[in-house]
Amino acid sequence: MAGHVLTAAERFLDVNGVRLRVYDAGPPDAPLVILAHGFPELAFSWRHQIPVLAAAGYRVLAPDQRGYGGSSRPEQVEAYDITALTADLVGLIDAVGAERAAVVGHDWGAVVAWSTPLLHPDRVAAVAGLSVPPVPRPRTPPIEAFRRIFGDNFFYILHFQEAGIADAEMAADPRRSMLRMLGGMRVPEDEAAAVRMLAPGPEGLIDRLPEPRQLPDWLSAAELDHYAAEFGHTGFTGALNWYRNFDRNWRIMATPAAETISVPALFVGGTDDPVLNFTRIDRAGEVATGPYRQVMLDGAGHWIQQERPDEINAELLAFLSQVRWT
């Protein structure tokens, strides 16, 4: 992992019909923690958590999820639905001979994490989500709802629906795309920036995000180069295909194996995360009916486990210490 020394082995595991590149750390027979990254990220995004959790006595698996990095990138859009994504994590649990795991996700990985105990309730000992809270299933298909809400205005999730458009925009200059995503995705600082994010027009997400004057203090040039090199090799289509399953996922989640999340659950968000401008945190109790803790980090943005690693590590360690693994 560029710029970081980790006691983690890089492995390739064949699970659920795909091959996942996985960072594997910690004692082999220890309680299992799976770290699921978000968009557009990699297992590398957990570089500050992997060694800390392993040193605390947990076995840690952090995959490049399907569509990303060194893992398989199926061509079919439907191969990225929530059934496949949660089954990948269960496949990792099976691959190392464990019965259950604590699943921790960030961003899209949080969506997968929250969905796993609903679709596979017997395989999850605890669940934590960063930046995206558990939310109840909406009454109408999400894309239909977004089109009604935003109309002709720009909204990145709607922009991502059309195959090839955002893919080409982001792949044209992966370093610029990752710089603007990681360095520019915060609550808009002024009204003009907010208007630019919503204004109708042909510009895509990357062109609307501000160009950071310098790298954020939590991201080195070598780390940015690592992201850029990986996405320069893979492109962004696999990652964007996750977004193209919103309505399919809505249909799948109409009949989950469990109606609610009963295992211990933790949500950690940042007060400066723009995703929380349109994602409600006050309805978590409708989904997570077991022990639930919510933590908001003042001034933190969206890339919270990279921005504020010490606080995230402390929250995760405290949370995991209370989990009943058997």
Query: What CATH number is attached to the domain comprising 70?
Result: 3.40.50.1820
18-25 vs 8-15, strand pairing mode = antiparallel
Q: Which of 37, 48, 120, 302 is catalytic?
A: 302
Q: What is the per-residue pLDDT for 136?
A: 96
Round to whole Å and give the CA distance between 278 and 56: 36
User: What value does the mean pLDDT of the chain take?
Assistant: 94
Burial of 214 by CB count in 10 Å (0-12 exposed, 13-18 middle, 19+ buried)?
Answer: exposed
Task: Using the predicted structure, report yes or no on whether residue 2 has a pLDDT greater than 50.
Answer: no
Q: What total number of domains does the chain contain?
A: 1
Task: Using the predicted structure, report yes or no on whether residue 185 has a pLDDT greater than 60.
Answer: yes
Residue 120 annotated in active site: no
Check if the beta carbon of residue 95 is closer than 8 Å to that of residue 63. Answer: no
Instruction: Tell me, yes or no, whether 139 lies in a domain.
Output: yes
- Band the pLDDT of 326: cuts 50, 70, 90: confident
**Closest by Cα among 158, 163, 170 to 234:** 170
Instruction: Tell me, yes or no, whether 326 lies in a domain.
Output: no
Average pLDDT of the segment spanning 240-260: 98
Give the count of beta carbons closer than 10 Å to the beta carbon of residue 219.
19
Task: Using the predicted structure, report yes or no on whether residue 189 has a pLDDT greater than 80.
Answer: no
**Closest by Cα among 30, 103, 29, 122 to 65:** 103
Q: Which of 24, 64, 88, 107 is catalytic?
A: 107
Residues in the chain: 326
Task: Using the predicted structure, report yes or no on whether residue 191 has a pLDDT greater than 80.
Answer: no
Q: What is the per-residue pLDDT for 197?
A: 87
Instruction: Tell me, yes or no, whether 3 lies in a domain.
Output: no
Average pLDDT of the segment spanning 273-288: 92
Q: What is the per-residue pLDDT for 188?
A: 67
> 57-61, 157-161, 199-203: which has the minimum mean pLDDT?
199-203
Q: What is the pTM of this model?
A: 0.96
Q: What is the per-residue pLDDT for 5?
A: 45
Task: Using the predicted structure, report yes or no on whether residue 36 has a pLDDT greater than 50.
Answer: yes
Task: Using the predicted structure, report yes or no on whether residue 4 has a pLDDT greater than 80.
Answer: no
Instruction: Tell me, yes or no, whether 28 lies in a domain.
Output: yes
Give the count of beta carbons closer than 10 Å to the beta carbon of residue 119.
22
- Token representation of residue 316: 């995760």
Instruction: Tell me, yes or no, whether 283 lies in a domain.
Output: yes
Q: Range of 89's domain?
A: 8-320
292-297 vs 59-63, strand pairing mode = unpaired
Instruction: Tell me, yes or no, whether 135 lies in a domain.
Output: yes
Residue 107 annotated in active site: yes
Question: What amino acid is encoded at 114 in this protein?
Answer: W
Q: What is the per-residue pLDDT for 149?
A: 92
Instruction: Tell me, yes or no, whether 1 lies in a domain.
Output: no
Instruction: Tell me, yes or no, whether 249 lies in a domain.
Output: yes
